[in-house]
Amino acid sequence: MQLRYSFRVYPSASQRTALTRAFGCARVVYNDALRAREVARDAGLPFPTVGELSKRLITKAKKTPERAWLAEVSTVVLQQSLRDLDAAYRNFFDGLKGRRPRMGAPRYKSRKDTRQAVRFTANARWAVTPGGKLRLPKIGDVRVKWSRRLPSVPSTVTVVKDSAGRYFASFVVDTGPEEALPQTTSEIGIDLGLGHFAVLSDGRKIDSPRFLRRAEKHLKKAQRSLSRKEKGSKNRDKARIRVAWAHARVTDARRDFHHQLSTQLIRESQAIAVEDLAVKGLARTRLAKSVHDAGWSAFVAMLEYKAARHGRTFTRIDRFEPTSQVCSVCGVKDGPKPLHVRTWTCKACGAVLDRDANAAVNVAKAAGLAVTACGAQVRPGLVPAQRSEAGTHPKPQPLTAR
């Protein structure tokens, strides 16, 4: 399995200048290649290949006065830029042929794009120094915060600058053989609660942790402050940067929360079932905002790959029927209930059911998991609203071997 690992990097002032130059050169080559393809199309000629473009737009261009500065950055970065354009075109044509979701034609890149990136492959001879720095050709040894251990040695590194002006080194690595966890007997269904981030079939209700809620509050405040600033003013520029930062912090906090919770659930449970919400379909409903905000699909994707990696069973249940209409104890369907109804008594078996937990048990049962329905029943005092911040915090460990 391949996973992406990202680490924050802290380039010095001169390294930032060099990176800006690399971003710029990669962008110019990308745009030159896009223009070359458009010219070929308009002339009814076949598209130039990556090899031809590389010769023309990199090797030969470096010898012209207009593009001589391309020599100041690693050639690999420029070649990767051509490959990116090639991939963008392939995806675009595959979309037209119906092989994947339709997407727009590749567009020219701008200096004002919020995300800038360059990629170094093994050919670029990038390295991690014995001191744990990231050695990038024509940029230098950049300080890295190694927040996790890499499971294997990557061949490629992408350096990214985000909209908040932060730099990251991003690696795609093979996770190698799965790391099986000790077997457990616990099997669990998870439902997306309306009032909670998730509700488990054992009755646990999980809310967003405080560090995430605080970051979200901070973002809202920054956004309000931005909207009050006069257009074109210096203060507005400052406020915009603050919003970008607050946004980045929310994104990070949310990812941390998803990692902690998914790791905890995978450790605890041998089998996990979730309801496939088909978020796209929900986008038109009033649920949309809460679903997107909660980042449910990103969380489910984490559960899925962690399950695969640790030898757990993961099942996605289609939206088979409204899970709130069926009693999870006796299975009798007793009709829809308005959203404000949080608990009710099953007329067939007399069980007192909690709306969210009942749904979670139904999800688990639909996946064929052996859960007891007791979690769905209301038992005051037995249903802790867990914060679930007890995830693992791996010690930072520098990558030394190359």
Smallest gap from Cβ 340 to Zn ion, in A, equals: 21
Contact letters for Zn ion, residues 152-171 (x by CB under 5 A): --------------------
Nearer to Zn ion, 159 or 327 (CB): 327
Q: Is 373 in the site for Zn ion (CB under 5 A)?
A: no
Nearer to Zn ion, 67 or 337 (CB): 337
Nearer to Zn ion, 32 or 356 (CB): 356
Smallest gap from Cβ 333 to Zn ion, in A, equals: 10
Q: Based on C-alpha coordinates, what's the Rg of the chain? A: 26
Q: Which is nearest to 178 in space by CA: 267, 269, 310?
A: 310
The size of the interface with Zn ion (CB under 5 A), counted in residues, is 7
d(CA 271, CA 303): 11
Piece of 113-121, 226-234, 307-315, 348-356 that binds Zn ion (CB under 5 A): 348-356
What φ, ψ does residue 370 adopt, rounded to 5°?
Answer: -90, 70
The SS3 call for residue 314 is strand
DSSP result, 62-79: GGSTTTGGGGGS-HHHHH
Q: Is 291 in the site for Zn ion (CB under 5 A)?
A: no
Q: Select which of 191, 252, 318, 334 is catalytic.
A: 191
What φ, ψ does residue 4 adopt, rounded to 5°?
Answer: -95, 130
Smallest gap from Cβ 192 to Zn ion, in A, equals: 23
Q: Select which of 84, 187, 202, 275 is catalytic.
A: 275
Number of H helices, E strands in the chain: 9, 15
Nearer to Zn ion, 301 or 349 (CB): 349
Q: Is 329 in the site for Zn ion (CB under 5 A)?
A: yes
d(CA 364, CA 35): 53
Smallest gap from Cβ 315 to Zn ion, in A, equals: 24
* Residue from the set 348, 352, 385, 390 that interacts with Zn ion by CB under 5 A: 348
Piece of 214-222, 223-231, 351-359, 380-388 that binds Zn ion (CB under 5 A): 351-359
Q: Is 357 in the site for Zn ion (CB under 5 A)?
A: no
d(CA 275, CA 323): 10
Nearer to Zn ion, 144 or 329 (CB): 329
Pull the structure tokens for residue 236.
Answer: 């507005």
Q: Is 352 in the site for Zn ion (CB under 5 A)?
A: no
CB-based contacts of 194: which residues, under 8 Å, 6+ apart?
Answer: 287, 290, 339, 356
Piece of 152-160, 197-205, 346-354, 371-379 that binds Zn ion (CB under 5 A): 346-354
d(CA 165, CA 160): 9
Nearer to Zn ion, 339 or 348 (CB): 348
Known catalytic residue at 38: no
Known catalytic residue at 202: no
Q: Is 330 in the site for Zn ion (CB under 5 A)?
A: yes
The SS3 call for residue 148 is coil
Q: Which is nearest to 380 in space by CA: 354, 342, 344, 351?
A: 354
d(CA 32, CA 311): 47
What φ, ψ does residue 131 adopt, rounded to 5°?
Answer: -85, 5
Place of tokens 């309306």: 194
d(CA 199, CA 356): 6
* Residue from the set 188, 346, 359, 399 that interacts with Zn ion by CB under 5 A: 346
Pull the structure tokens for residue 380.
Answer: 């005051």
Q: Is 327 in the site for Zn ion (CB under 5 A)?
A: yes
Piece of 65-73, 96-104, 272-280, 324-332 that binds Zn ion (CB under 5 A): 324-332
Known catalytic residue at 84: no
H helix intervals, 232-325: 234-268, 279-282, 288-294, 296-309
Smallest gap from Cβ 214 to Zn ion, in A, equals: 41
d(CA 260, CA 302): 10
Smallest gap from Cβ 365 to Zn ion, in A, equals: 13
Q: Is 349 in the site for Zn ion (CB under 5 A)?
A: yes
Nearer to Zn ion, 78 or 346 (CB): 346
Name the residues that contact Zn ion, by CB under 5 A.
327, 329-330, 346, 348-349, 351
Q: Which residues are catalytic?
A: 191, 275, 356
